């Protein structure tokens, strides 16, 4: 990877969108870091160790490397086209409307579910002090009517902060990120100082370093929230149209946030493994450590493993601090994703795959109609779904699927617009390797998530196509041509992932997933490799011609018309 000096001219920047470029270097980086460090870090160390044992350290490293590959592909695209909502818009440039709608829909659904997930995490932890927020039904926490009102109010706070503009949002977020980094650092140092036992990494009575083998190591990437924890790197793309120096800030955010948070998560995992009481490990092995905590009758253990360990080793003050952070960390991530969800529907409107009004922005440069839609849809997730963890798994596979098109667009653009300015350019010798590994990583994470969750994703995709058909029948001449012959390969990709998941044996611990269990870890990895090669070959053969790409970019970059607008932008040109 390198900064391209052969094309010194600036990349294409949207004009007339109404969005303001108020994110500086630290602001954009901290938005990604704040998004990565949400509720996941409070549970990830325990969940990963239960699936992989001490080898969970390797699981975090693998997840970090996978997302670095994915981030590098978006770093080149994000500096070529510093447009807000880029994850949903880049496929439109290379493959047309059918592809951009398909992936934009998946991306939007996943992002819209994150703020309510984080609100539920805040409310669940707050139930320790305010018992009337939730009640237990069949062992699952369910919102009470009063808890639902509080949750909706928290969502409204997220919307209000985002509504008043990027500059205010960035200032609040920077403070919250410094707090979160300080708390994580304090946890790591305290665990190392008060109770760190290197022997925990090779206890023969608990199966040694990797008690569940390679299957456990790789399963933890998808099943323990590791992949979920790295999703925040996307803010470097989604907010690229609102940063003052995209050619510097976008690559720094996409790659730097993953490396920084990856190092923090690995240190936290090491500290957790060394600090867990030995009797908890030796009782029934690593897979039952969480149950052992709960059997102690400790209220903290039922809701927070890090707080439980803190109390056991005598750092009760740290347990209290962790419960305060359990409100702040998820709250900050929900705040970020509320704005991101609005940028995605804004991007779909700019692609003309969604109603015009979603592209309207207010005087402070915020897509306010899209923001209100994110609020309304987000509140539906407060209905009594089966559980918080299942919703997290759904967000994991749908978000990873949306990322998978980045490597494909990167390679297509090398052919379609070879002379386009690339302020950040991956080396020609490595671009194919990096793109292939990024797409293979995407397919593997979805496969490891398992059929029990994946079938819901494919059902949501089918629902999206129904909505697309309705929109095309009712929107008249405004909608662009579908250009299906340039996007049909998506159906092969989706069908291939569904088949792999149905034939696979993930999740291994479930007896009621409904999948066949024909493919084990090794065969599944080989099948995912073959699917990656097939999808990459079909997609590049189907890419739009360069002349059409230039037409789409010309339409995309045209200023939004101001006629009839009071303040800010109106819908994109038809």
The predicted-structure confidence for 234-269, as pLDDT tens digits, reads as follows: 766 666 555 666 667 777 788 888 999 999 999 999
User: 140-143 and 134-137: which strand pairing?
Assistant: antiparallel
More confident residue, 142 or 438: 438
Lowest-pLDDT range, 270-274, 288-292, 520-524, 547-551? Answer: 288-292
Residue with the bigger pLDDT between 300 and 425: it is: 425
Task: Check residue 240 and give its pLDDT.
Answer: 54
Q: How is residue 338 written in tokens? A: 């509320």
Going from the C-alpha of 444 to that of each of 10, 103, 198, 402, the distances in angstroms are: 36, 18, 32, 14
User: With contact defined as beta carbons under 8 Å apart, do 325 and 41 qualify?
Assistant: no
Report the share of the chain in percent with pLDDT over 90. 28
Residue with tokens 């052992």, as numbered in its chain: 292
> Domain spans of the chain?
2-557
pLDDT in tens, 465-488: 998 888 888 876 667 788 999 999
List beta partners, residue 2: 425
Report helix, strand or coil for 142.
Answer: strand
**For position 168, what pLDDT does the model report?**
62
What residues contact 388, with CB distance under 8 A and at least 6 apart?
117, 120, 121, 124, 141
143: its two tokens? 């919102």
* Cβ proximity of 277 and 191 under 8 Å: no
**Domain 2-557 homologous superfamily, CATH:** Amino acid/polyamine transporter I (1.20.1740.10)
Which candidate, 164, 87, 177, 95, places its Cα nearest to that of 403?
87
Predicted local distance difference test score (pLDDT) of residue 487:
94
């Amino acid at each position: 990877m390198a900064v391209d000096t052969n094309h010194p001219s600036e990349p294409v920047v949207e004009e007339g969108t109404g969005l303001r470029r108020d994110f500086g270097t630290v602001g954009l980086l901290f938005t990604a870091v704040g998004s990565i460090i949400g509720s996941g870090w409070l549970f990830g160390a325990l969940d990963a160790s239960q699936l992989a044992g001490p080898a969970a350290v390797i699981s975090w490293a693998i997840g970090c490397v996978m997302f670095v590959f994915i981030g590098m592909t978006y770093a080149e695209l994000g500096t070529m086209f510093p447009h807000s909502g880029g994850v949903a818009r880049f496929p439109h440039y290379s493959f047309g409307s059918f592809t951009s709608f398909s992936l934009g829909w998946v991306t939007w659904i996943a992002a819209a579910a994150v703020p309510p997930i984080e609100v539920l995490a805040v409310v669940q932890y707050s139930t320790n002090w305010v018992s009337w927020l939730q009640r237990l039904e069949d062992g699952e926490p369910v919102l009470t009517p009063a808890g639902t009102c509080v949750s909706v109010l928290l969502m409204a706070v997220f919307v209000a902060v985002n509504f008043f503009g990027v500059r205010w949002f960035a200032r609040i977020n920077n403070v919250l990120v410094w707090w979160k980094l300080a708390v994580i650092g304090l946890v790591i140092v305290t665990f190392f100082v008060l109770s760190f036992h290197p022997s925990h990494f090779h206890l023969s009575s608990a199966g040694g370093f990797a008690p569940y083998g390679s299957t456990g190591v790789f399963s933890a990437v998808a099943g323990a929230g590791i992949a979920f924890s790295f999703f925040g790197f996307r803010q470097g793309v989604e907010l690229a149209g609102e940063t003052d120096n995209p050619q510097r800030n976008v690559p720094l955010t996409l790659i730097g946030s993953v490396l920084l948070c990856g190092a923090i998560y690995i240190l936290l995992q090491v500290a957790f493994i060394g600090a867990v009481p030995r009797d908890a490990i030796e009782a029934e092995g690593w897979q039952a450590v969480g149950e052992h905590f709960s059997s102690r009758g400790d209220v903290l253990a039922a809701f927070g493993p890090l707080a439980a360990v803190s109390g056991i080793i005598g750092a009760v003050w740290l347990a209290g601090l962790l419960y305060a952070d359990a409100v702040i960390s998820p709250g900050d991530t929900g705040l970020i994703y509320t704005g991101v969800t609005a940028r995605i529907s804004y991007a779909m409107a700019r692609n003309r795959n969604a109603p015009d009004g979603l592209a309207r922005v207010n005087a402070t440069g915020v897509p306010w109609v899209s923001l209100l839609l994110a609020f309304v849809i987000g509140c539906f997730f407060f209905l009594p779904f089966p559980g918080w963890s299942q919703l997290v798994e759904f967000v994991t596979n749908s978000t990873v699927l949306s990322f998978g098109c980045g490597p494909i667009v990167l390679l297509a653009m090398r052919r379609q617009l070879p002379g386009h300015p690339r302020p950040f350019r991956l080396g020609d010798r490595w671009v194919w390797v990096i793109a292939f590994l990024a797409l293979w990583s995407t397919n593997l994470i979805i496969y490891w998530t398992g059929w029990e969750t994946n079938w819901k994703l494919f059902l949501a995709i089918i629902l999206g196509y129904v909505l697309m058909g309705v929109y095309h029948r009712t929107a008249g001449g405004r909608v662009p041509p579908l250009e299906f012959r340039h996007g049909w390969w998506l159906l092969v990709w989706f069908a291939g992932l569904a088949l792999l998941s149905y034939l696979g044996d993930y999740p291994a611990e479930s007896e009621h997933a409904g999948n066949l269990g024909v493919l084990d870890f090794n065969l599944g990895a080989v099948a995912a490799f073959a699917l990656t090669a097939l999808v990459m070959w079909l997609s590049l053969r189907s890419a739009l011609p360069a002349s059409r790409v230039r037409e789409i970019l010309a339409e995309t970059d045209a200023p939004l018309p101001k006629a009839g607008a009071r303040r800010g932008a109106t819908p994109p040109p038809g």
